[in-house]
């Protein structure tokens, strides 16, 4: 049996969803992820061209219509979710892993190591994310992996900066001092004490960033620098619908709406979580 007082810190350490906005975002995200995961079962048609059913407007048979090649747009929007979400997950995993590692090292070590890492970080932060991604994606062959790499390269410094400031404050805590006095080697202190305690703000930042990553990835694919035919990707689909937008509006509209809804859901959740922790946190990338 636990005493009533013991419940408070436990509940506080769990990420509580602070308001209806964030809850709505979370529900949307679950639905979107489920739709993407179950795309092969949910999709009304296989993702294949049908020369006789090109450019059909939305109807009972094709809710979102069909594209120039006769592919069902709803099917491709569902499959496109897989591409977009896996790009977002890969980018966030790579940049958070790299960024947090560097940040924790910088924050704990301090001194010239910190200075070098933070100055390099400053340089990368001097580029608007989309710009550096663009420059990189142009010189690399267009593919989904290029998009992941190009965005991750611009995204890690945010995590480095965040993790460095958190780690620096944790490094001065008494329990870290105690561990140091007991002769625990520095790498072990970082792994056992500094890293786990730096993770909450990083996780909030990740949920906040997911929307931006999805928008950036869509923009790169829209410019033809990312996913290539016949891969279903939302940004690419908007681009394919662009030339026919005035006559066959549905080809580009529904994938664009999918980007909007997904980015919206992540931004809602992220904002809710951030407000719960720090109402004045930075909002621009």
Binding residues for another protein, rule: CB under 8 A, are: 21, 119-120, 122-124, 126-128, 130-132, 134-136, 138-141, 211, 215, 218-219, 222-225, 235, 238, 242, 245-246, 249, 252-253, 256, 259-260, 263-264, 267-268, 271, 275, 279-280, 283-285
What minimum distance in Å lies between the beta carbon of 133 and another protein? 10
Nearer to another protein, 128 or 230 (CB): 128
Q: Which residue, chain included where needed, has tokens 């294949």?
A: 48
For residue 70, is it left (φ>0), alpha (ψ between -120 and 50) or beta?
left
Cite the beta strand spans of 229-279 per DSSP E.
none
What minimum distance in Å lies between the beta carbon of 157 and another protein? 12
Distances (CA, A) of 158 to 19, 95, 283: 26, 9, 12
Task: Quote the CA–CA distance of 194 and 187 in Å, as a whole number.
Answer: 10
What minimum distance in Å lies between the beta carbon of 35 and another protein? 18
Distances (CA, A) of 212 to 154, 218, 231: 12, 10, 22
Nearer to another protein, 102 or 179 (CB): 102
Fill in the DSSP letter of residue 246.
Answer: T
Nearer to another protein, 190 or 251 (CB): 251
Nearer to another protein, 145 or 275 (CB): 275
What minimum distance in Å lies between the beta carbon of 211 and another protein? 6
């Amino acid at each position: 049996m636990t005493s009533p007082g013991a419940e408070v810190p436990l509940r506080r350490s769990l990420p509580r969803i602070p308001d209806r906005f964030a809850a709505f975002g979370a529900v949307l995200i679950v639905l979107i992820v489920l739709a993407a995961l179950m795309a092969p079962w949910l999709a009304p048609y296989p993702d294949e061209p049908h020369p006789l059913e090109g450019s059909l407007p939305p109807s009972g048979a094709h809710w979102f219509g069909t594209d120039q090649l006769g592919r069902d747009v709803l099917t491709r929007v569902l499959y496109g979710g897989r591409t977009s979400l896996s790009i977002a997950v890969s980018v966030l995993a790579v940049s958070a892993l790299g960024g947090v590692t560097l940040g924790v090292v910088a924050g704990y070590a301090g001194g010239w190591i910190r200075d070098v890492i933070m100055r390099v970080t400053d340089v990368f932060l001097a580029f608007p994310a989309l710009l550096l991604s663009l420059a990189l994606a142009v010189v690399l062959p267009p593919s989904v992996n290029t998009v992941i790499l190009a965005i991750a390269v611009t995204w890690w410094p945010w995590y480095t900066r965040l993790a460095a400031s958190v780690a620096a404050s944790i490094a001065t805590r008494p329990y870290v001092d105690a561990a140091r006095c007991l002769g625990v080697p520095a790498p072990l202190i970082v792994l056992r004490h500094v890293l786990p305690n730096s993770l909450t703000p990083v996780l909030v930042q990740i949920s906040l960033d997911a929307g931006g990553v999805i928008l950036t990835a869509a923009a790169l694919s829209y410019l033809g620098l990312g996913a290539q035919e016949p891969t279903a990707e939302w940004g690419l689909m908007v681009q394919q619908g662009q030339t026919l937008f005035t006559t066959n509006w549905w080809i580009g509209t529904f994938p664009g709406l999918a980007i909007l809804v997904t980015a919206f859901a992540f931004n809602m959740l992220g904002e809710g979580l951030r407000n719960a922790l720090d109402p004045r946190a930075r909002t621009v990338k």
